[in-house]
Structure 1
Amino acid sequence: MQDQTEQPAIRPDINMDELIIRINEMDAVFTRFNNQRSLVMDCRIKAKQFGDATALTDSNRPNSTYYNRVIGFTDKALHLLDNILKWYNENQSACIFSLAPTQQTEKVLDAFKIKELCYNGHDCIFHAIPRESSLTLPEHISIEQVTQDTLNDLFRLMETNNWPIKEAFCHQNRDFYTRPDFRFYLARVNGQVAAMGSIFIYKDMAWLSNDATADEFRRNGCQQLLIDHRLDVALRNGVYHVITDTEFGVTSHRNMLKNGFQLAYMTAEFIKQRPERKG
């Protein structure tokens, strides 16, 4: 994917239904990709379509609320609800429905109640338009794209932040971390690795994630600079809409707001617990 020097003609605001459909599509693709690049265990994710809904499950992580999700479920798929629950039961995994506001209809919620699906929390989806970098890097801070030569610096930062990593998978899945559609960026303070963030580019949309800063380098503004830089990267790669998700009120949320992100909507999650194994 080649960088584009001309700014794309920013599209007018799309309606909420269309935005949700496109984010759901990217979310399903990105979730599968995250499973493939795992630094902990082999990829075991499976996907199955039920109408417009994408069901994902991972036999290695049967209780994961991220890898065992149904994305894009609406009342148009209510007649498939029993089949979806049966599929997760056969795979011996939890089943989590992630619903955007327009998908939380009375019919859907009533059906969930009958099937004993319980509310399990929410997630905040934020949206921004890509733009040229608006911040000036201080002399003591630099930002660089991770390459195969600097990938070990990224892995060490992950370990510093207590991210689970196994050396064998660092070797096996190295190529996933320097792809044109998935890039990591490092911020260095006085030459030392301080913070990281990634961008996943899918069609004309991008998802920012994996923001983390080493404790000793907090309050240096690294994350705000990394967000600003990735918005510029998105612009140069023909992206029209940049998405991220974070908890409401945390530092990451505040950094996103400082860089022009706005709350698009909040998803609600409903869970059917993993069935107990027999015998």
Structure 2
Amino acid sequence: MSFQIQSYEFAETMEQTEIDYMVDRMHAIRERPGNPMGIEIMKFGGATAFFSKEMPWPQFNTVKGISLDDLHVLDEIIEFYRSRGSRLQFEIIPTKAKKELMKVLFERAFYQSDFHATLYGHPFEMSMSDGPITIRELEADEINLYAEIHCLGTGLSLSGMSYVADNNRVLLNREGWRFFVALVEGTPAGVGVMYMNDGLASLTFATTLHEYRNKGVQKALLERRITEASRNNCKFIISQAAYASTSFRNMERSGMRLGYTRATWIKG
């Protein structure tokens, strides 16, 4: 398998892919009647700011795409979140991590708290694993099943299941989005999601119930989504994971390769 030679342009393509699926996801949630999650999406120069009043978690209150060229709007970005009573984080890819930007963030009392990896690969038709695991698309009436596995697999309380269901129901039949469920001997054990747009496929989410881990469920979900990307003529598959995590290693085993690690900056 051949890989893309790394370049500044390709790094920004990978970053833009993540921005695109987040924009589409947040737009879909915002389109719910009355915008109950309080979604706002703002552009500040080349940066995209995501905000949710009712979902205070970092992934919904984050700034992507910021670069040195956006220093003139940095204080405006910070004020956007401050005025809404929200914490924020900046996600900065290596090609945009210039020392002048880092210095100004530090002067505004931000510090780097984490790294997160982005991986990529070329999709191809994979031979699905033999055995007790089957992968199929989620049915329209199974969004509660998806939400239950999502919560249990990620450690969220089942009290939030209705919110997860509502915020993903709007994606289920939306153009570009595909949902899959993994079954072990007929029992639902994991879920995976992907978003395809403009020849690029983002593997946006996957989780497995604790009792079914280390049985090949994630591998099977990856294989199915990589195959679907190939069948839909996507040029690249792109995904994110904690560096050297189980998800990271599963992606490498499926033929994906590290593109970069981006830095996460939060306020002290």
CA distance in 1 between partners of 2:64 and 2:109 (Å):
19
CA distance in 1 between partners of 2:143 and 2:91 (Å):
33
1:68-107, CA deviations, whole angstroms, 9 ceiling, x for partnerless residues? 2111111111122222222222222222111001111111
Task: Please name the residue that 1:107 is paired with.
Answer: 100
Task: Please name the residue that 2:13 is paired with.
Answer: 22
Instruction: Give 1 or 2 for the bigger CA radius of gyration.
Output: 1
Q: Does 1:31 align with 2:25?
A: no
Contact 1:133 1:228 in 2 (8 A): yes
Match of 2:120 among 119, 127, 144: 127
Deviation for aligned residue 1:192 = 1.0
Q: Does 1:148 align with 2:105?
A: no
Q: Does 1:43 align with 2:37?
A: yes
Task: Please name the residue that 1:187 is paired with.
Answer: 182
Identity of aligned pairs, percent? 24
Task: Please name the residue that 1:7 is paired with.
Answer: none
CA distance in 1 between partners of 2:156 and 2:24 (Å):
18
Per the alignment, in what secondary structure is the counterpart of residue 179 of structure 1? coil
Task: Please name the residue that 2:210 is paired with.
Answer: 215
CA distance in 1 between partners of 2:166 and 2:44 (Å):
36
Per the alignment, in what secondary structure is the counterpart of residue 113 of structure 2? strand
1:211-243, CA deviations, whole angstroms, 9 ceiling, x for partnerless residues? 212223222212111101110100111211111
- Corresponding letter in the other structure for 2:49: A
Deviation for aligned residue 1:247 = 1.1
Ranges in structure 2 where 5+ consecutive residues have no aligned partner = none
Task: Please name the residue that 2:80 is paired with.
Answer: 87
> 1:32–1:122: structure 2 CA closer, same or farther, 3 Å change rule?
same
Contact 2:37 2:53 in 1 (8 A): no
Task: Please name the residue that 1:239 is paired with.
Answer: 234
- Corresponding letter in the other structure for 1:28: I
> 1:159–1:269: structure 2 CA closer, same or farther, 3 Å change rule?
closer
1:10-64, CA deviations, whole angstroms, 9 ceiling, x for partnerless residues? 99736532223223333233224444459xx9332212111111122222234x3
> 1:86–1:174: structure 2 CA closer, same or farther, 3 Å change rule?
closer
- Corresponding letter in the other structure for 2:19: A
Q: Which has the higher helix share?
A: 2
Contact 2:147 2:161 in 1 (8 A): no
Match of 2:191 among 188, 196, 206: 196
Match of 1:176 among 171, 181, 188: 171
Question: How many residues in Structure 1 have an aligned counterpart in Structure 2?
Answer: 261
Moved more, 209-218 or 109-118: 209-218
Deviation for aligned residue 1:180 = 4.1
1:137-176, CA deviations, whole angstroms, 9 ceiling, x for partnerless residues? 32x2211011214434323423443445343773685342
> 1:150–1:238: structure 2 CA closer, same or farther, 3 Å change rule?
same
CA distance in 2 between partners of 1:27 and 1:145 (Å):
23
> 1:110–1:272: structure 2 CA closer, same or farther, 3 Å change rule?
same
Contact 1:135 1:228 in 2 (8 A): yes
> 1:49–1:155: structure 2 CA closer, same or farther, 3 Å change rule?
closer
CA distance in 1 between partners of 2:75 and 2:85 (Å):
15
> 1:109–1:208: structure 2 CA closer, same or farther, 3 Å change rule?
same
Deviation for aligned residue 1:201 = 1.2
Task: Please name the residue that 1:55 is paired with.
Answer: 49
CA distance in 1 between partners of 2:23 and 2:211 (Å):
33
Per the alignment, in what secondary structure is the counterpart of residue 46 of structure 1? strand
Contact 1:181 1:202 in 2 (8 A): yes
